[in-house]
Amino acid sequence: MTTSYPKDKIKILLLENVHQVAVDDLRKDGFTVTTAESMPMEQLIEELKTTHAVGIRSKTPMNEAMLKHAPKLLCIGCFCIGTDRVDLAYAASRGIPVFNAPFSNTRSVAELVIGEIIALSRGLMDRSAECHRGAWYKVAKGCCEVRGKLLGIVGYGHVGTQLSILAENIGLKVKFYDISPKLNLGNAEFCESLDALLQEADYVSLHVPRNDSTRGMFGAKQFAQMKKGAFFINAARGEVIDPAALAAVLQSGHLGGAAVDVFPSEPAGNGEAVFETELRGCPNTILTPHIGGSTMEAQRAIGLEVAASFKAFINQGSTTGAVNFPSLELPLKPKSHRILNMHRNEPGVLSKINNLLSEAGANVNAQLLGTDENIGYVIIDLNREVSRDVVQMLREMPFDVKTRVLF
């Protein structure tokens, strides 16, 4: 497809070891793709000045301070489930949709949690460490089968539901708590309060996003409510728990063990950097370096999913799957020029746009509008003769945020 701006001039920056399949897919489509594991902030700011799309995972911040240095940025891709590293509202105000991969790594995270449930139940990490030291402690005390035990899932979203299915298949009973109504899968039961779930569950596994309502949601009070000898797992976000409070109940023996994959502060890269947490040295505690979605299958699927979102938006204006933007997808009309207009969501904007199109003598072949509380997004296919005039007129309107002509 011929676009108004050469594809090889569109620069895409992919950070944090995004899977090569995404790099290859985007280059195959004609884009110029630059990759890096990480960048010093000063260098990243310089790169953003000429970047049209940026892809990150869980470490690189895309906040207002960073995005102010990205005048050409069209879209952002989070090659993961979480989007908390991006200032979603500010990006939307700049006409920048943000895409993620809400499904692609759910199986990998759920499988890790199942493995941790079994490992914690048998004290495998401590037994393994003892054997590595040359010690031999063959014990059954405190070890149990998981069959018939109750798993409490906090957050019944994509990962929580996958975990629910896998858990039932190995004989666990499942109850879940979520702040919004969710359809239970299999024999899983909804629990009306978090307190009730904590008091009943043999295993508690967190699968909530990081936001203002979840930050610090698990502290000394919540851990004290859990059954003596129960196990705790956090594969969500580090900021949702108080690590010191968790360490205290592990050292006291109130909890039988824990598995933690995410931390409030994580090293910027791999290597010998010192990793500090109060949980180091706690008994029967599995600590892993944020690897829940780190399987080749998951990273490949994520790469393809977000790359497809990039291509659909840059090439066609589709925002299907955007987390901060109206979701629109309009079939391509042959022999038309496609215009994308992002504007402040104010009363009468569409009427003003259509009056403008009429004044320009535009023959509109198709039009699709979507709005949310703050932003409006309209895709317009019209005759080629007036498209550039219309673009200029739209850019001069006081409500305009960003206007592009695609082809």
Q: What is the mean pLDDT of residues 307-329?
A: 97
- CA atoms 385, 388, 391, 396: torsion sign: negative
> pTM of the prediction?
0.85
Q: In this predicted structure, what is the pLDDT of residue 82?
A: 85
Inform me whether the pLDDT recorded for 48 exceeds 90: yes
What's the average model confidence in pLDDT over 82-88? 92
User: By percentage, how much of the chain surpasses pLDDT 70?
Assistant: 98
Per-residue model confidence (pLDDT) at position 23:
98
Q: What is the CATH number of domain 106-287?
A: 3.40.50.720
Identify whether 189 is a catalytic site residue. no
Pairing of strands 257-260, 285-287: parallel
pLDDT band for position 360 (cuts 50, 70, 90): confident
What would the pLDDT profile of 158-192 be if each residue is shown by its tens digit? 999 999 999 999 999 999 999 998 999 999 999 99
- Among candidate residues 19, 94, 237, 404, the one labeled active-site is 237
Please report the pLDDT score of residue 381 as a whole number.
93
Average pLDDT over residues 372-395: 88
- Confidence at residue 100, expressed as pLDDT on a 0 to 100 scale: 96
For position 4, what pLDDT does the model report?
Answer: 64
How sure is the predictor about 272, in pLDDT bands with cuts at 50, 70 and 90?
low
Question: 384 pLDDT exceeds 80?
Answer: no
Query: Does the annotation count 237 as an active-site position?
Result: yes
With cut-offs at 50, 70 and 90, classify the pLDDT of residue 307.
very high
pLDDT of 280 strictly over 70: yes
Q: What are the DSSP E strand ranges found in 28-170?
A: 32-36, 53-56, 75-78, 98-99, 150-154
Average pLDDT, stretch 97-103?
94
Share of the chain above pLDDT 90, in %: 85
Among residues 107, 127, 290, 337, the one annotated as catalytic is 290
pLDDT in tens, 200-224: 999 999 999 888 899 999 999 999 9
The per-residue pLDDT for 3 is 59
Query: Which amino acid, residue 138?
Result: K
pLDDT higher than 70, residue 273: no
In DSSP notation, 52-88 reads SEEEE-SS--B-HHHHTT-TT--EEEESSS--TTB-H
Least confident among 146-155, 255-264, 358-367: 358-367
Structure tokens at 233: 């797992």
Q: Where in the chain is the domain with CATH 3.40.50.720?
A: 1-105+295-317, 106-287
Spatial neighbors of 278 by CB under 8 A, at least 6 apart, are: 243, 244, 246, 247
- With a cut of 60, say whether residue 80 has pLDDT above it: yes
Total Cβ atoms within 10 A of residue 371: 15
- 352 pLDDT tier (thresholds 50, 70, 90): very high
In this prediction, residue 5 carries a pLDDT of 74
Residue 404, beta-bridge partner list:
340
**pLDDT tier at 116 (50, 70, 90 boundaries)?**
very high
Q: Looking at residue 376, what is its pLDDT?
A: 97
- Supply φ then ψ for residue 330, to 5 degrees: -120, 125
Q: Which of 84, 37, 42 is nearest to 62 (CA)?
A: 84
Say which of 111, 266, 278, 329 is annotated catalytic: 266
Q: What was the pLDDT predicted at 211? A: 87
Residues of the chain with CATH 3.30.70.260: 334-407
Q: Residue 69 — very low, low, confident or very high, per pLDDT cuts 50/70/90?
A: very high
Give the fold, CATH level 3, of 1-105+295-317: Rossmann fold (3.40.50)
- Indicate the pLDDT class of residue 2, thresholds 50, 70 and 90: low
* CATH number of 334-407, picked from 3.30.70.260, 1.10.287.990, 3.40.50.2000, 3.40.630.30: 3.30.70.260
Q: What is the mean pLDDT of residues 12-40?
A: 95
**What is the rounded distance in angstroms from the CA atom of residue 117 to the CA atom of residue 122?**
9
